[in-house]
Structure 1
Amino acid sequence: MRYIGSKVLLLDKINEVIEENVDNAESFLDIFSGTASVARYFKNKYKVYSNDHLYFSYVLQKATIENDCYPTFDGLKKVDIYDPFSYLNNFPIDSYVFDENNSFIYRNYSPNENCERMYFTNENAKRIDFIRTKIEEWFNNNLLTENEYFYLIAGLIESVPFVSNISGTYGAYLKHWDKRAFKPLELIKLDVTINHKENRSFNKDSNELIRELEGDIIYIDPPYNSRQYMPNYHILETIARYDSPEIYGVTGLRPYKEFKSKYCNKKQVEKAFADLIENANFEHIVVSYSNEGIMSEETILEILCTYAVADSVKVYKYPYRRYKGKLSAKEHNLHELIFYAKKRKL
């Protein structure tokens, strides 16, 4: 999934920093988990805790982090459904009866007599509604376990971007149809790393959760700039919740006042970050940030040094490219910063 601030390309670098500074750790917390790519990577090595304030991220985490086995869907076999992926992908949509309770995506995010938005073709929007409705129906009828429920929704969330008519995020739709949008939606099966540990996933504000957990390593990857995540991924949030929110605006935004992050606010970010570090009951702190972020490198170092063992704080700098193609002079100065600190016991 294309995601703002994704760390997929930096996973090995993050691992190198941890291996250089940490011995004999058993637990790992990814407190701003996003698509859970970092948590998934380190599930091979540690008992993992993951968290994000957005519910669609929580769904991905429940399916791939907290869940520690592949689903068997035994309940669905009682109604002669032996492969739910095949069933959901191949069910003839034209024969399904849609109404106001099971067509929210079609009615609000694909072109029809009451909507001009072009996020999805009619066929794919209806398929999304059908799949999400059936998952809820099966779960309410006790045909799915909780793990199976989240696994199927997560598969849908990961599948939707492949047919979305967008340039990168859901902050806007394209005014012409990209060829990607005409591909038929196909519900995909997600890989699950099995580590036989009691991994946990959370859907909380990071500064509240930090007061509830303790462990060995905490990885902190907060937002870097003023772009709030909810308006950029509002459709994935709505598909995950399927709660028919009161939407507004050209792009059909769901209300998100309570989900505005302090880490995207220049006046609030330093206090929020300092509070997080102060209350982190973890021995090892690893932070990812950008040298173009709203907090300066010096500010982050100052906060870390305030709560770290003397001389333990380090910063690693890795050049990265924001766009494909020829680098501009400004692009040459872009760096991903990875900080390490050993937390001082207070």
Structure 2
Amino acid sequence: MFKNVERVVLAKTKITQRPYPQYIKYMGSKSKIMDFVLSGINDVYEDGGICDLFGGSASLAGAVGDQVAIHSNDIQAYSAVLAGAYLTAWRKNSTPEAAAIIEQAKAIVSRNRKAIRCLHDYAHPVSIKRFNAIEREQQSLIERNFRRPWHLFLKYYSGTWWSAEQALWIDAIREVADQYKADPTYDVILSSLMFAMAYSSQGTGHYAQYRDANTASSMKDISIYRKKSVAQLFVKKYSGALATLATQPSDFQHKVTSLDYRECLKEFSGGTVYADPPYAFVHYSRFYHALETLVLYDYPEIQEKNGVVVKGRYRENRHQSPFCIRSLVAGAFEDLFRGVSESGSNLVLSYSNTGMISIDDLGEIASREFAGKSIELVFTDYKHMTLGRQFDRHREVEECLMLVK
């Protein structure tokens, strides 16, 4: 029945997109097609809350959290922080300003940088040989034992996506952030630090692998990012986000969880589920492990191959999504559809013609699991950001919304 589906004209928008701060660069983010997503949600929304089942960068929470109760869920902990920045953060009289946070962090950096011998002023050019020697020296800090706490990024990531100096600042701001754990802006502080990490990183916007200075051109490009100030980027984002916050908690009963999608569906009922699962064989935990580590700050075991730490410095035992495994994806969708059905909710599913399962096969599974319900497919064409530096940085993708009510 889905072989020649007609393209449906969606209903007029009821829930609308509000302006909201963007904190991270995120593959497959729906922020650029949020109006399309909201049109689908409005077409099936009847009452109750909205569950964003695979929250990711929490764009949906950012877009509509002022209009409807949102249950934002994602198995990755960093997503809960981003969702909290949009949904549950508010500003008190005692909320710290950016200058106060940076002043505290600066004292920590000044105290700790004295023991680091491999710092480099990237404003002063050096030969490519010397540049790479500095990079290797910073990268070798992973082998060093530190006595003081709050050294995770300095040890794990110096000379990779960030310089040792930038890593010092990330650790310092992260340490200061925990002093404000009881403040309702705590998630905004951490989210703003994620922003500073993203825009000072010498990578491509994610953290799968950092770049090497193989040529004079790549050395120059990396140096541009090495010179960026984590502190200045943090101040820019945090100050701007703080200015948008309300001065009292939201009236909506928002909920933020870090659950497997099947467990989340057991906690949600009677509303609308928005599901945007991964499309490709690559796991998001590979691309955003540094954000997970920032939030958890747990000094994780780092993946090794043949006794050597892998270049990506991935967390050991990172999450593997069944939606990214071809042999498991059909069963994963069966569980998803069954969970939505049992929750008594309507569904808006985002998927694409480049996914791990065909739209036709997806339709057949939905027909079985949602017998007796209305099922429609809606399509739009857009460019999908891959965050790569190759010629496929933007890929032509036909985005599909499956609407079930």
Q: TM-score, normalised by structure 1?
A: 0.84
1:231-270 equivalences under 5 Å are: 231-248=286-303, 249-257=310-318, 259-270=319-330
2:360 corresponds, among 298, 308, 314, to 298
CA distance in 2 between counterparts of 1:229 and 1:3 reads 10
Q: State the 1:146 CA deviation.
A: 5.6
Specify the code of the residue in structure 2 equivalent to 1:318.
Answer: T
CA distance in 1 between counterparts of 2:353 and 2:154 reads 41
Cα deviation code 1:161-200 (max 9, x no counterpart): 0101101310011113152342101323235577511100
Question: Counterpart of 1:134?
Answer: 176
SS at match of 2:349: strand
2:365 matched to 1:336? no
Check the 8 A contact 1:171/1:233 in 2, yes or no: yes
Question: Counterpart of 2:151?
Answer: 103
Identity fraction in percent: 24
Check the 8 A contact 2:49/2:70 in 1, yes or no: yes
Q: Which moved more, 1:193-202 or 1:126-135?
A: 193-202
Q: State the 1:94 CA deviation.
A: 4.8
Q: State the 1:42 CA deviation.
A: 2.2
Check the 8 A contact 1:247/1:255 in 2, yes or no: yes
Check the 8 A contact 2:44/2:347 in 1, yes or no: no
Question: Counterpart of 2:121?
Answer: none
Q: State the 1:69 CA deviation.
A: 2.2
1:171-186 equivalences under 5 Å are: 171-176=208-213, 177=222, 179-185=224-230, 186=233
Q: State the 1:316 CA deviation.
A: 0.9
Q: In structure 2, do the counterparts of structure 1 residues 178 and 221 end up closer, same or farther at CA, with 3 Å as the change threshold?
A: farther
2:161 matched to 1:119? yes
CA distance in 1 between counterparts of 2:176 and 2:155 reads 18
CA distance in 1 between counterparts of 2:395 and 2:372 reads 34
Specify the code of the residue in structure 1 equivalent to 2:369.
Answer: Y
Check the 8 A contact 2:74/2:258 in 1, yes or no: yes
Check the 8 A contact 1:68/1:196 in 2, yes or no: no
CA distance in 2 between counterparts of 1:121 and 1:6 reads 27
Question: Counterpart of 2:137?
Answer: none
Check the 8 A contact 2:381/2:399 in 1, yes or no: yes
2:268 corresponds, among 213, 225, 249, to 213
Q: Which moved more, 1:173-182 or 1:160-169?
A: 173-182
CA distance in 1 between counterparts of 2:206 and 2:82 reads 17
Check the 8 A contact 1:48/1:199 in 2, yes or no: yes
SS at match of 1:272: helix
Question: Counterpart of 1:162?
Answer: 199
Question: Counterpart of 2:65?
Answer: 43
CA distance in 2 between counterparts of 1:242 and 1:129 reads 9
Q: Cα RMSD (Å) of the superposition?
A: 2.5
2:186 matched to 1:149? yes
1:88 corresponds, among 64, 82, 101, to 101
Q: State the 1:34 CA deviation.
A: 0.3
Cα deviation code 1:68-118 (max 9, x no counterpart): 5234435xxxxxxx52x213334255522365422221122113xxxxxx2
Specify the code of the residue in structure 1 equivalent to 2:153.
Answer: I
Q: In structure 2, do the counterparts of structure 1 residues 53 and 311 end up closer, same or farther at CA, with 3 Å as the change threshold?
A: closer
Q: In structure 2, do the counterparts of structure 1 residues 178 and 318 end up closer, same or farther at CA, with 3 Å as the change threshold?
A: farther
Check the 8 A contact 1:30/1:220 in 2, yes or no: yes
CA distance in 2 between counterparts of 1:241 and 1:96 reads 24
CA distance in 2 between counterparts of 1:208 and 1:228 reads 20
Q: Which runs of 5+ in 2 are unaligned?
A: 1-23, 114-145, 214-221, 304-309
Q: In structure 2, do the counterparts of structure 1 residues 198 and 311 end up closer, same or farther at CA, with 3 Å as the change threshold?
A: closer
Q: In structure 2, do the counterparts of structure 1 residues 195 and 308 end up closer, same or farther at CA, with 3 Å as the change threshold?
A: farther
Alignment length, in residue pairs?
A: 317
Structure whose alpha-carbon radius of gyration is higher = 2
CA distance in 2 between counterparts of 1:179 and 1:69 reads 35
Check the 8 A contact 1:317/1:335 in 2, yes or no: yes
SS at match of 1:263: helix
